[in-house]
Amino acid sequence: MTVIAFLGAGSVVFTRELLADILSFDELTGVTLALHDIDAERLETAELIARRTAEQLGAKPAVTAHLDRRRALQGADFVINAIQVGGYPATVRDFEIPARYGLRQTIADTLGVGGIFRALRTFPVLDGIAADMLELCPDAWLLNYTNPMAMNVAYLAATAPRLKVAGLCHSVFWTVHDLAALLGVPLDEVDYTGAGVNHQAWLLRFEHRGESLYPQLDALLDREPELRRRVRMDMYRRLGWFPTETSEHSSEYVPWYLHHDSEVDRLRIPVGDYLQISADNVAEYHTTRRSLLAGEALDLTRPATEYAPQVIHSMVTGTPRRIHATVANTGLITNLPDGYAVEVPCVVDRQGLRPEHVGALPPQCAALNRSFVSVGELTVRAAVDGDPRMVRQAAMVDPNTAATLTVDAIWALCDELTAAHGDLLPSALRS
């Protein structure tokens, strides 16, 4: 029987969607679902979701719930990682402290000082997960959803190279989905390839019946000036390739926008957006729990789009699929550094997940990716070497941070965030 462990199962909205997708496959209705969270109430809620989902779908999985991570990992075939170390309070600190220095952020989970410190909080937990998996389920795949995706996958590649890891994010899919809808083209008739780094990949192929869709997108942007008032559209028009993450995310990976009031207004950038998203997620958790305790049915009508259920189904049944995933760069993208994490097309079947060779990105895309990668490389190296100066150096080379703050302010900000996050950080980096 296939065993799927969920780490961070208390992220109930995400868990609900993944479980609905998994149990919708006929071949997976009898799997074992081993749920883990460090919060007892959230774990209980996740178990209620699993059992209610199974009941509504007519599935019969074995469901277990564990506060002890090792018990959840015992004998797992797949491990889905959706943890958020420090939770909502840590997210608030990542926004409020930089804001006092005049640093604007929108999502703060991938790059910038928010991404750096989220990574540093996450790395010690990843150490424990990797050690437990290599002991208890060494052949299992770790399917990571936790951000910062690229930093986390790169860190595991550096510290646990024997672990089988794939970072899963739906940004490439939803970019194509939304563009197809915008252009009035059936999604199932669109052929596409994305490559780069997670949250800053590029649509290198975007075609309908063998013809590029870029000319249609160009014509639409020429006709609709309001469509041009978004960061992604602005980047596309200047760089020639469409970025595969939202405008909110994209704005904080480059030095051009957030530092300027006029650009924030022109491109309608929602500064601090993730704080409200996080608060809404907390509220939805409480709503979902009340609904479950009242015996109400779950809404399971959302279309199946997440990659982890598809990956599991392909590996269990041999059904081939092509997805986009984050893996260590082993010459897959030749003008990005080897060893760091890249997002590329991958084939998935019973043999596992096999990334495709992409070659060189367009030079302007690679140039932006390299500035993105530099922040992550320094953050990973800071943790591996135990060097707190390198944390500050990562912030110094971050595009948005460097465009906004003096070097003295960057160091002072890192000092304050280090003190604020305290023992959530690796011990060698708490100074």
Q: Residue 431, exposed/middle/buried by CB under 10 A (0-12, 13-18, 19+)? A: exposed
Two structure tokens written together for 344? 């590329």
Q: Which residues are annotated as a binding site?
A: 147, 169, 199
**What integer pLDDT is reported at residue 134 of this predicted model?**
98
Two structure tokens written together for 217? 């997108």
Q: Which of 66, 170, 260, 286 is catalytic?
A: 170
Q: What is the pLDDT along the chain (431 residues), one digit of tens a residue?
A: 899 999 999 887 788 889 999 999 999 999 999 999 999 999 999 999 999 999 999 999 999 999 999 999 999 999 999 999 999 999 999 999 999 999 999 999 999 999 999 999 999 999 999 999 999 999 999 999 999 999 999 999 999 999 999 999 999 999 999 999 999 999 999 999 999 999 999 999 999 999 999 999 999 999 999 999 999 999 999 999 999 999 999 999 999 999 999 999 999 999 988 888 888 888 888 888 898 898 888 888 775 678 999 999 999 999 999 999 999 999 999 999 999 999 999 999 999 999 999 999 999 999 999 999 999 999 999 999 999 999 999 999 999 999 999 999 999 999 999 999 999 999 999 98
Phi, psi angles (nearest 5°) of residue 74? -55, 115
Within a 13 Å sphere around the CA of 25, how many CA atoms are in the beta-carbon half? Answer: 21
**What integer pLDDT is reported at residue 303 of this predicted model?**
59
Give the integer Cα–Cα distance in Å for 195 and 366.
10
**What integer pLDDT is reported at residue 418 of this predicted model?**
98
Is 177 an active-site residue?
no
Q: What is the pLDDT of residues 364-413, one digit of tens each?
A: 999 999 999 999 999 999 999 999 999 999 999 999 999 999 999 999 99
Q: What angle do CA 393, 149, 299 make, to 5 degrees?
A: 145
Instruction: Tell whether pTM > 0.95.
Output: yes
DSSP-based helix, strand, coil % in the chain, nearest 5: 55, 15, 30
Two structure tokens written together for 324? 């986009």
**What integer pLDDT is reported at residue 237 of this predicted model?**
97
CATH number belonging to the domain at 88-107+168-271+306-431, selected among 2.60.120.10, 3.30.300.30, 3.30.565.10, 3.90.110.10: 3.90.110.10
Q: Which residues are annotated as a binding site for Mn(2+)?
A: 169, 199
The residue with tokens 């704080």 is 275
Segments making up each domain of the chain, as ranges: 88-107+168-271+306-431
Q: Which residues are annotated as a binding site for substrate?
A: 147
**What integer pLDDT is reported at residue 53 of this predicted model?**
93
**What integer pLDDT is reported at residue 327 of this predicted model?**
98
**What integer pLDDT is reported at residue 403 of this predicted model?**
98
Task: For 259-394, list the strands marked E by DSSP.
Answer: 321-328, 341-349, 352-355
Residues facing 4 on adjacent strands: 33, 78
